[in-house]
Copies of this chain bind each other. A is one copy, B any other.
C-alpha cells in the first residue's frame, strides 16, 4: 500500500496524484437534497453503500435521515458493521453455505436483511440462521426488467411462502430495475419504471394469493428514484450515486421535480508528459473505471482520447487549441464516468473543504470495503 496522498489541513494543491478527491461542500448539498426528497415524499431512504464503500459516509447518510444502507456482498456488510453501521440490507443473493454462516452470524449483531431468489438459497439461509439463532429480514427479489437476478412476479408468492415455511421472516420485495437507470431521457426511464411497477403489483398479488402480506418494496436508483417514489408502490429507495454524481448519471438528464445533484467526486491527476499535439496525465484505468465511458475533464477544453493502465492521453476539445495545452505538472481534474468501480480502485478518499481550487483537506476516509468481493 502506498503512503497517504495527503495530510489533514493540506491545501488541495499539494495532494499527491492520482487521488480520489471529494468536494465536501458539493457532497453535503447532494446528501441534504436526497434526504429532503425522501422526507418530503414520505419514503424510506437506504442508500447503496456499494457505491461509496465507506463507513464514515454511511454514517453521514444515516445521520441525515437514512434508515440504514444496502450492501452487495457479505464481506461489505461485515466491514460496514465493524465500522458502526447497525442496519444493513444485503440486496443480493447468496447461496454459498460458508457465506450464509457469516450472514447468520452477522444477523446476531446488527439489523440485517438479505435477498433471495431460489429455494436452495432460502433453505441454506434457514439452516445457517437456525444454527446461529438469528432472524434476518428476507426479501424476495423479482426481475422487474433487468434480466439478471430475481424470480418472475408470478413466482414471488410461492417463494415468499417457502421463506415463511422455513421459519424465516418474509420482509417484502427487492425490485431494482438496474437497466432503467441509464436510459437517456426522463420519459423513457419513467416508462421503464411504470412497467416495473406493474410487475411489482403482480408480485404483490401473487404474495397475497399465497396468504401473505408484502410489508415493503425496496429498490430504485439515482436515475429513477423520483419515479419509484411517485409510484405508490415502492416504500424504500436504494439510490447511491446521487451522492457523488458520475458522468454517466449526469449525461442522462434529470427527471422533472427531482433534485439536481452536483459532481462531488473527482480524480486529481497531473500532466506528466507533453507533446505538440497532446498531454499525458498520470492517471489511467487503475485510477478510474471506463465501463461507462472515459472520464471528462473539469473546467478545461480537453478530452481524453486514449488511456493506458497508468496513463490518460488528452487533446484539445471543442474550441480548444493545442496552443492552450496545459503545462507539465499542471493539475487536471477528471470526472469519472462511473463512480462505483472508480471508488473501488482507491485506498482512500481525500475530502476537501472550500472547493477544488483553494480548498483544504478536511478528512481522509479509507475506502473501507474496497476489495470486499466475497
| Contact surface of A with B, Cβ cutoff 8 Å | 1-3, 5, 14, 16-19, 50, 72-73, 75, 78-79, 92-96, 98-99, 117-118, 120-121, 143, 147-150, 178, 270-275, 278, 280, 283, 285-287, 289-291, 306, 308-311, 313, 328-329, 340-341, 344-347, 369-374
Q: Is the CB of B372 within 8 A of A283?
A: no
Q: Which residues of the other chain, B, contact A291 by a CB distance below 8 angstroms? A: 285, 290
Nearest chain B residue, comparing its CB with the CB of A278: B147
Q: Which residues of the other chain, B, contact A95 by a CB distance below 8 angstroms? A: 270-272, 328-329
5 further contact pairs, Cβ within 8 A, besides A73-B310, A121-B328: A1-B370, A16-B99, A96-B329, A147-B278, A148-B313
Q: Is the CB of A272 within 8 A of B94?
A: yes
Q: Within the complex, what minimum Cβ distance (angstroms) separates A269 from chain B?
A: 10
Q: Is the CB of B178 within 8 A of A308?
A: yes
Q: List 9 A-B contacts (CB under 8 A).
A: A2-B374, A17-B96, A120-B328, A147-B313, A148-B280, A148-B306, A150-B273, A286-B340, A309-B340
Q: Within the complex, what minimum Cβ distance (angstroms) separates A44 from chain B?
A: 23
Q: Is the CB of B306 within 8 A of A96?
A: no
Q: Which residues of the other chain, B, contact A78 by a CB distance below 8 angstroms? A: 2-3
For A148, A150, A273, which residue has the most chain B Cβ atoms within 10 angstroms?
A273
Q: Which residues of the other chain, B, contact A290 by a CB distance below 8 angstroms? A: 291
Q: Is the CB of B96 within 8 A of A371?
A: no
Q: Which residues of the other chain, B, contact A347 by a CB distance below 8 angstroms? A: 371
Neighbour of A371 across the interface among B2, B143, B306, B340, CB < 8 A? B2
Q: Within the complex, what minimum Cβ distance (angstroms) separates A9 from chain B?
A: 16
Give Cα A121–Cα B147 distance, bound, in whole angstroms.
Answer: 52
Q: Within the complex, what minimum Cβ distance (angstroms) separates A253 from chain B?
A: 22
The 6 closest A-B pairs by CB, nearest first: A2-B75, A149-B273, A347-B371, A2-B372, A72-B310, A18-B373
Q: Is the CB of B313 within 8 A of A2?
A: no
Q: Within the complex, what minimum Cβ distance (angstroms) separates A306 from chain B?
A: 7
Give Cα A54–Cα B286 distance, bound, in whole angstroms.
Answer: 16
Nearest chain B residue, comparing its CB with the CB of A149: B273
Q: Is the CB of A341 within 8 A of B309?
A: yes
Nearest chain B residue, comparing its CB with the CB of A271: B95
Q: Which residues of the other chain, B, contact A310 by a CB distance below 8 angstroms? A: 50, 72-73, 92
Give Cα A287–Cα B345 distance, bound, in whole angstroms.
Answer: 11
Q: Which residues of the other chain, B, contact A311 by a CB distance below 8 angstroms? A: 148-149
Nearest chain B residue, comparing its CB with the CB of A124: B329
Give Cα A329–Cα B120 distance, bound, in whole angstroms.
Answer: 9
Q: Which residues of the other chain, B, contact A17 by a CB distance below 8 angstroms? A: 96, 373-374
- Contact A274-B79, Cβ < 8 Å, known A341-B286, A345-B371, A374-B3: no
Q: Which residues of the other chain, B, contact A329 by a CB distance below 8 angstroms? A: 95-96, 120
Q: Within the complex, what minimum Cβ distance (angstroms) separates A83 from chain B?
A: 12
Q: Within the complex, what minimum Cβ distance (angstroms) separates A59 from chain B?
A: 19
For A2, A285, A290, which residue has the most chain B Cβ atoms within 10 angstroms?
A2
Q: Within the complex, what minimum Cβ distance (angstroms) separates A100 from chain B?
A: 11
Q: Within the complex, what minimum Cβ distance (angstroms) separates A331 from chain B?
A: 10
Q: Within the complex, what minimum Cβ distance (angstroms) separates A75 from chain B?
A: 4
Neighbour of A1 across the interface among B3, B285, B309, B372, CB < 8 A? B372
Q: Within the complex, what minimum Cβ distance (angstroms) separates A370 from chain B?
A: 8
Q: Which residues of the other chain, B, contact A143 by a CB distance below 8 angstroms? A: 275
